[in-house]
Every structure is written in structure tokens, then in C-alpha cells.
Amino acid sequence: MIKPKYQWINNTEHPTIDDTLVQQFNITPIMQRTLEGKGIVTEEALASVLEDRQIIHDSAQMSDMAKAVARIRQAIANQEPILVYGDYDADGVTSTTIMVDTLRKLGAIVGWYIPNRFTEGYGPSEAAFQNAVDEGVSLIITVDNGIQGHDEIALVQEQGVDVIVTDHHEIGPTLPNAYAIVHPMHPDYDYPFRYLCGAGVALKVASALLEDQVPQAYWGLAAIGTVADLVPLTDENRSIVKKGLKQLNEDKPASITAILEQASYDDVITEETIGFLIAPRLNAVGRLEDASLAAELLMADDYEEAQFLAEQVEHFNQERKDIVSDIAEAALEMAASYVARGDQFLVLAQEDWHEGVLGIVASRVVETYHLPTMVLNLDAEKGHAKGSARSIEQVSMFDALSEQSTLIQKFGGHHMAAGLTLDLDNVDALRDGLNDWMRQTFAGVSLQPTKTVDAVVNIGDITVDNIQAMNRLRPFGMGFSKPVIQLSGMQVQQAKAIGQQQNHLKVTFESSPMQALYWNYGALAGELMAGQTIDMIGELQINEWNGNRSAQFIVTDIASNERQILDYRSKNKKLPQFDNDAQVSYLIHPSRDKQRDNEFYYGEVIPEHYEKCVMRDLPLTMEDIEATLQQLQVSQIYLVFAHERSIYFEGIPQQAIFKQCYKSLMQKGTIDLGQDGMALCQYLNIKPNTLKFILKVFLDLGLISQKDGIIEPVQQTDKRPIETSRVYQARVQRLEVEKQLLYDEFSAVKAWIETSLARTN
């Protein structure tokens, strides 16, 4: 049995697409099951996904838009200096670029400013705002921030400087006293779509200012901000990304060309290109230094300038990767110790951890242990700990931190993520408090992560053409995730570890030419046997190699309800590294002392909480292993059967050898085994080990005595058959054990064990 990492959520009671719509939209079987799984079944819903229908709402419907546009035009007409105040992430720098370029096109006197993550933090900075006033700025436009900047906005408004807030973040109980607030969630307006990102809001302002004559490049920038900020890819956002990707591929800006050259990417730009290549590089600058470099790159029209700036951005991206790798390694090692002691909320803290990447590190720990995680940098000079936290679906990070608010100086966040600062002296207390809260709140609640399955697919429907057709559903993202496909009842043909470190898994199947790849799970190769039936969830892909195209399945999770009996009898095979050794029981030889609580002798009762059983040592008898199988309740059995030496090929000496040996001993009377042993072996034509066995039998039957290597026959009238010796019978049993467990084909051993288990159950 292979237990899945995730709980698979499969909605079997979903509405279906009418056959006429299937034909109308030319929907393939895999597409149909996927769309039905996502609840997209009506003609309107299908058209919004499958047809090139654009949903672009009227900018004038957004809050304070007319007021904001009028004030901006007034500032341009009067040549008032304008400051665009941005943010340090990918959404922030794309928002800044759109707004600055729009104002420049309209002839404005415009400057821009992006706060430093470490010295100023997120949102309006009092010092930066006051500096703008001092330099004669009369209008500040925030992009991707500002809705929480009450005090800073009030400070400059009182000095006669107007502030226009353009933002998309959650609105608090009160609104800042700004000149205008352009926000899709404004409580006094009813904009048709509430979930634009900062760049999306900036695009709407640009559209209003330019009277809908928006430069095509803005759509590409807005698409980058939309994908990077993980807002739902539905409604207007979907149209922005579709239109933006089209623009990026047809007329790639110098900045994006330079970024992708640094990434060694020369292919079609998709939402994944943004998510995995473009956005991380734009974000890297703000994570380590001043994000202004990223904005300068996006604003660069000259290709050589863009190349120069992209090289610098790439340097920051590589540095970010190295820093994340180093911190993640230390954090995961630290997390392992806390998990081992039973912590359910991981609080990981250390000095000199770069605060700009702690959110990424926390996410990696959550991916590994599926527990809410906080990663903190300890700053002795400032006397505080500062960092980021990431959660799992079942646990609200906001609720968890709210319960411990007395220990925290300040925090902000939502269900899945948060940032916080606290006194150094409170770190241990916070760790204890969060774990107490977890134990009380989630007692008896499963924290297993979940995966929603979009479609259970028949293997016969998986063709290159049908996979290619799935691209019609793009772009994928938040709210419209990449389809998770389930394949059931797949019979394994071969499973093997691949890659330089043998750390990836490749599986082929008896019923299909499709192959499956499971990244970072090469160790499973030893647990998947030919003929075994498995279920999988993952993503369908097309593998292209040497001009050939074939179906490929990228595995997210594997499950099997079959009890597994795994052959590790070869000395060349090493047991896998078990994720949780506490769930593994080991059967050892009775001559060995138990070193751990999870070691047992054959025949002893093994508690039911153990999921795996490693038959490490060879049992004494077949009855011993049968006694174990009578009560064994595990999902995986590993056959190792270690032993010091085999006697199978030595066998049992014939009766004539026993008689000849005994006769020789009687004739000699007394022999010194050290001096005469080899001569006796040569006389009998047997090996030393066989002679030792014969003498042990004689000793057991009382036919000889032995002291310090001197053997003397014992005169006896009561003769006992050789077969009655316990030593003789033990050898008979050992030969049977070796024959059945060591030298039989694995299929025969497996069948015998399965029969014994079935008989018991």
C-alpha cells in the first residue's frame, strides 16, 4: 500500500455539459471532464474560456475615477510635479511603469519612487511623502498600495498636496482621507469585478486618461502583474492576461526580451513563463535591495540599456536563489527536529537570515512538512525578531497570530500568509503558545493537505492531440488552476529511478505507451513492482524528443491500496530513507539485542500503528515467520533477510559420513581438534564447517565430550538416531528457511506470504 501525500477531493456530483455544446465548442473528452469538474458547463461560461471574448469593464465604473482623472489632467495642464509612489514587488513595479509612462505620454512632469522593503516597509512612508512635499510635488499617485496609509496621506493632504490612491488590497474599517481612491472593492461603488491587481487598476486609470487608446505594451505589463500577484484568473483578469500574453509574443518589449535572454528562454511566453521566469526576477531585486532597478528595466526602451539592467537583475536573482538555498537547508534541518518532538506549528529562528526571502523559505518548509510555518531573523542589535509565516488550508494564520497578539509587536496578513515583528525574548513563548493553540484547536482534525481533482480520465482518451487541445483552456492560475487529472487502476510495467542523483521516478505501464515522471521521488522505484496497480493524480504534458511527440504524465501524488511485498534480499539493494522511521517496525534475529523500541523478534506481536515492516534478519524457522504473519497488519513488507553465512549449498551430511566420522573418533580415542581437525576433514572428504556441524550433533547426543578443543568419545549403550539431535533439526529448519526465503524466486516468496496473510485475515 502506498498512502497518498494529499487527500484527493473528487467532486463526482457535478453538472454536465450538454452534447450540443460539446459539438458547438469542439470539446474533447478530457476537456469535457475538466470543464465539468470546474463547474464550467453553460454556454456563456464555456464561451468565456474557449472563445476569444474579452471582458473589459468600463473604467468609469471604478470608484472616484472621474475625480482622479480630472485632478491628474489639471496637474498636467498646470505643469504641477507629480510623484508616482509604487511598491517593491512585480505587481508594484509593473503598476509604476504603466502609470509613469501614461503620464509622460500626456506631457506630465512626473517622477516615481519605490520604498525600500527593509528601511521603509510596505506602503506609504512618512519620510518619503514629506520629502516629496519638500521638493515641490503637488500630487502623489500611489499604485499597488496606499489604502492603509491613513496617517501618511493625512500628513501631506494637510500641507496642500493631493493624494490619489490606486490600490487593490483589502480595505480596512475606515478609508484614508485621500483626494480620490480608485479601488475595485470600494464600498460605495459597484465595480463589476473586485479582484484586479495593482497593475490592473493602473491599467484602468491609464485607459481613462488615454480615452481607451491604451498602448499594447500596457497589456503585457498588466498581465505580468496579474499573474505575479496571484489574483484570480477569472473575468476581467483572464482577458487582461490573454491580451497581454498575445502582445508579449507578438511585440516583445526590450525589457522582457532582455530578461528572457538572461534566463536562456527562447520559446512562447505563457502564464508559466511569467510565473516561473519573469516575475521571480522582478521580485528578486526588491527582496534583496532597492526595487527601483526592476522598474528602470521595465521602463527601458533601448535594447542595450535593457540588456545592461537585465544583467544586474539576473545577478540579484541568482543571489536570491543562493540565499534561499542556504537558509532553506538550515531551516529544513531545524524543522525536522521540531517535527520529531511533535510540534504542529513550526517556528524557525536564527540570526543573520535575510528577511527578504523568509517567505519563500517558509513556503518550502510547508511544502515538505505540511504544517504552518514561521521563519524569523533574530536581530540582536535591534532586539527583535522579524519574518514571514505561511500556512496550510486548515489553519488560519491570521487567527493563529491574533491569539498570540500579546507576544507580537505588529503583524499583518491573511488566512495563508503573514509578516510579523516581535521581541527576541518572546520567540520561545510564541512557539509554545502557537503549538498549544494548535493542539487545542485541531485535536482530532486531519492536517493532511488536499488536492482537488478536476477530471478522472480514461487512459484511452490520452493522446497527443487531446493533450494539445487542453491548451485552449489557458491561461491557468488562481481561481482557474491547471487541471489536476486522475488516472485510476494503472498497472505498472516498470518503475526506475532516473537523473544524475537517481532522485526522480519514471514509470511505464502495461496498458499505455504513456510514461509518468514523479520529480524528487526516485526512492519510490524500490516500492513499485511490475504488475502493481496504482492510482495517480497530476498533469498531462507532451514530451518532445528528437522530433517525436508522446504523451507524458507529471505526477503530483501516487496511491495504491495493494499491500506491498518488496524484494530487498540482494546485497546491492539498499532500503529507502523512510520519511518517518517511527512508523517502521524491524524484525531481527533472536541472537541480537534490541537497540530500539521498533525492533521485534519473529513471533512477537507488532502494534498496529506501524505501517511498514522490515524483515531485516533471516528467521530461525518457517514457523517463526508464520507466527509473525498471523498477526501482521502493515501496508508494506520489506524482505531483507540478512544473515552472516548461508548453509544451503552445504546441505546435511549423509548418514554414512556421520558413521565414518564417529568410527574414526572411536579408533583414535582422543583428538586435538586444532592439530588433527584438518586431517580428519581430508580423511572424510568434507569441509571444516561440515565437521564442526557433525561434532556439534555428536556433542548434543552425548556421543562425545569436548574441552579446550580436545574431543573424546563417550561410551554409550543407548544409541540415539542422528535425526533426534536438536542441532540436526535446527539445520534442517535452517535449510528450509534458506530454500524458501533466500533462494526461491521472489514471485514464489511473495505468493507464499500473501497466502499466509490472506489465510490469517
What's the Cα-to-Cα distance from 272 to each of 359, 470, 588, 638, 704, rounded to whole Å?
21, 15, 51, 41, 82
Q: Are 587 and 551 in a shared domain?
A: no
Q: Is residue 332 part of a domain?
A: no
497 in a structural domain: yes
Q: Which residue has the higher pLDDT, 274 or 148?
A: 274
Q: In total, how many domains does the chain have?
A: 5
Does any domain span residue 326? no
Whether residue 686 is predicted with pLDDT greater than 90 in this model: the reply is yes
What mean pLDDT value characterizes the chain?
93
> Across residues 565-590, what is the average pLDDT?
86
Q: What is the pLDDT of residue 526?
A: 78
Residues of the chain with pLDDT > 90: what percent? 80
Q: Do 294 and 260 belong to one domain?
A: yes
Do 472 and 543 lie in one domain? The reply is: yes
Average of pLDDT values for 65-80?
98
510 shares its domain with 574: no
How confident is the model over 49-62, as a mean pLDDT? 91
Q: Which of 512, 544, 559 is the last residue of a domain?
A: 559
Task: Residue 519: give its domain's CATH number.
Answer: 2.40.50.460
Does one domain contain both 720 and 746?
no
In this predicted structure, the answer to whether residue 761 has a pLDDT above a threshold of 60 is no
Structural domain for 751, as ranges:
564-644+740-759
Residue 715 has a pLDDT of: 80
Can you tell me the mean pLDDT for 377-396?
94
Assign residue 89 the CATH number of its domain.
3.90.1640.30
Residue 441 sits in the same domain as residue 545:
no
Mean pLDDT of 261-268: 95
486 and 409 assigned to the same domain: no
Task: Decide which of 430, 448, 466 is a domain's last residue.
Answer: 448
Q: How far is Cα 643 from Cα 717, in angstroms, rounded to an integer?
A: 39
Is 321 within the bounds of a domain? no
570 and 437, same domain (yes or no): no
Task: Look at residues 298, 291, 300, 242 and name the one whose alpha carbon lies nearest to residue 271.
Answer: 242
Mean pLDDT of 418-436: 95
Q: What integer pLDDT is reported at residue 523 of this predicted model? A: 83
Residue 482 has pLDDT above 80, yes or no: yes
Do 700 and 751 belong to one domain?
Answer: no
Is the pLDDT higher at 512 or at 343? 343
Q: Is pLDDT of 579 > 90?
A: no
Domain membership flag for residue 327? no
DSSP string of 565-629, one letter each residue:
EEE--STT------S-GGGEEEEE-TTSPP-STTEEETTSPPPTT--EEEEEE--S-HHHHHHHH
Q: Is residue 11 part of a domain?
A: yes
Q: Give kind and range of the element (H or E) at residue 9.
A: strand 7-10
Give the residue with greater pLDDT, 415 vs 164. Answer: 164
In a domain, 653, yes or no: yes
In this prediction, residue 374 carries a pLDDT of 97
Is residue 725 very low, low, confident or very high in pLDDT (cuts 50, 70, 90)? very high
Percent of the chain with pLDDT over 70: 99
Read off the pLDDT band of 147 (50, 70, 90).
very high
The answer to whether residues 206 and 270 belong to one domain is yes
Same domain, 264 and 350: no
Among 49-63, 430-444, 561-575, 635-649, the least confident range: 561-575
Q: For residue 28, what are the contacts with CB-CB under 8 A and spacing of at least 6?
A: 461, 465, 466, 469, 470
Q: Answer whether 617's CB lies under 8 Å from 642's CB.
A: yes
Q: Residue 598's pLDDT is what?
A: 94
pLDDT, mean of residues 395-421 = 90
Mean per-residue pLDDT, 497-526 = 91
| Rounded mean pLDDT, 362-374 | 95
One domain, residues 257 and 400: no
**356 CB-near residues (< 8 Å, 6+ apart):** 117, 118, 286, 287, 288, 320
Least confident of 146-155, 560-569, 600-609, 638-647: 560-569
Q: What's the rounded mean pLDDT across residues 657-685? A: 92
Over residues 482-497, mean pLDDT: 94
Residue 324 lies in a domain: no
User: Does the pLDDT of residue 400 top 80, yes or no?
Assistant: yes
Average pLDDT over residues 485-505: 92
Among 72-86, 108-122, 169-183, 713-727, which is the least confidently predicted range?
A: 713-727
CATH number at residue 369: 3.10.310.30
- pLDDT band of residue 572 (cuts 50, 70, 90) is confident
Q: Which of 448, 466, 499 is the last residue of a domain?
A: 448
167: pLDDT strictly greater than 60: yes
The residue with cell 535591534 is: 382
Task: Evaluate if residue 717 carries a pLDDT over 70.
Answer: no
pTM score, two decimals? 0.80
